[in-house]
């Protein structure tokens, strides 16, 4: 599994508010020990692996967009059974409220991004930069305590949710106008199928991935009948797939 050096992430952006667990007062003060009232919480499913999370209702759509940034732009799937969200608890061994008791934070892929004195993270640095541009506090930035790179918290208040949703949509790049279009085309080259979703390219390397795509998405090419396209396009797709793996933004071609 990929592990990125801490230095690959640079410095925390200067405009991140100093609310590593969210601005509790701005969100009405709810959290441990009483927890967040149930009517303020939403439980929903995100991502290709259908990860179930619970957050404040106000940030459900925001977090859904964040998941799309991780998975669709950066090819970083949230893994089922490895993500944590709302939990009304204190920090282990202390009397302080856990950031998870406010209903804002989500831990993404805990085993590969452990709470630890030793730095371990498989988060693509370009993805972390995108999330931090949305005023998310990242546990990978903790100082003088264990690193917690699985942990992200919106560090803004409810008044900024709409602004951050709009910023997330800009990162995703014109997603809304593409909603009516087929979401995937598939191209086969040298026995490897590549899926293209109008924004990113990625190789489909297993039947299981195929099943996931067909299960969760609108696909224009039936299972097992990948469209064969000309070599110039294949070369482009492979080049873009490499750019995606390197954490760069793939270019989008309108002709597909
Ligand atoms: Zn956490």
pLDDT in tens, 129-142: 999 999 999 999 98
Q: What domains are there in the chain, each with its CATH number?
A: 6-172 (3.30.1380), 181-245 (no CATH)
Three-state SS at 171: helix
| Cα 164 to averaged position of ligand 1 atoms, centre (Å) | 21
| Cα 107 to averaged position of ligand 1 atoms, centre (Å) | 5
pLDDT in tens, 123-172: 999 999 999 999 999 999 987 778 999 999 999 999 999 999 999 999 99
CB burial of 128-154 (b: ≥16 within 10 Å; e: otherwise) equals bebbbbbbbbbbbbeeeeebbbbbbbb
- The pTM is what? 0.69
DSSP-assigned beta bridge partners for residue 186: 195
| Cα 189 to averaged position of ligand 1 atoms, centre (Å) | 41
Identify residues whose C-beta is under 5 A from ligand 1, the ion. Answer: 107, 151
Integer Cα distance of 63 and 67 in angstroms? 6
H-run or E-run covering 137: strand 136-138
Cα separation values, 25 from 31, 131, 149, 215, Å? 10, 22, 24, 41
* Residues 29, 33, 37: CA angle, nearest 5 degrees: 60
For the beta carbon of residue 223, count every other beta carbon within 10 angstroms: 12
């Amino acid at each position: 599994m990929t592990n990125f050096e801490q230095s690959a992430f640079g410095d925390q952006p200067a405009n991140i508010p100093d609310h590593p667990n969210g601005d509790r007062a701005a969100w009405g003060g709810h959290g441990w020990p009483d927890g967040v009232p149930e009517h303020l919480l939403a439980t929903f499913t995100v991502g290709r692996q259908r990860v179930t999370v619970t957050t404040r209702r106000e940030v459900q759509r925001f977090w859904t967009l964040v998941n799309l940034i991780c998975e669709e732009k950066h090819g970083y799937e949230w893994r089922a059974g490895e993500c944590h969200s709302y939990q009304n608890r204190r920090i282990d061994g202390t009397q302080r409220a856990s950031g998870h008791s406010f209903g804002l934070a989500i831990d993404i892929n805990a085993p590969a991004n452990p709470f630890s004195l030793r730095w371990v993270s498989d988060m693509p640095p370009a993805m972390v930069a995108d999330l931090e541009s949305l005023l998310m506090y990242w546990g990978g930035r903790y100082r003088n305590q264990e690193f917690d790179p699985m942990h992200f918290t919106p560090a803004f208040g409810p008044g900024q949710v709409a602004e951050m949703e709009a910023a997330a949509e800009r990162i995703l790049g014109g997603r809304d106008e593409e909603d009516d279009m087929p979401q995937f085309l598939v191209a086969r080259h040298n026995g490897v199928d590549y899926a293209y979703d109008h924004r990113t390219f990625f190789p489909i390397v297993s039947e299981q991935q195929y099943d996931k795509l067909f299960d969760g998405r609108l696909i224009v090419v039936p299972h097992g009948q990948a469209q064969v396209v000309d070599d110039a396009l294949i070369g482009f797709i492979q080049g873009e797939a490499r750019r995606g793996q390197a954490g760069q933004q793939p270019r989008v071609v309108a002709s597909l």
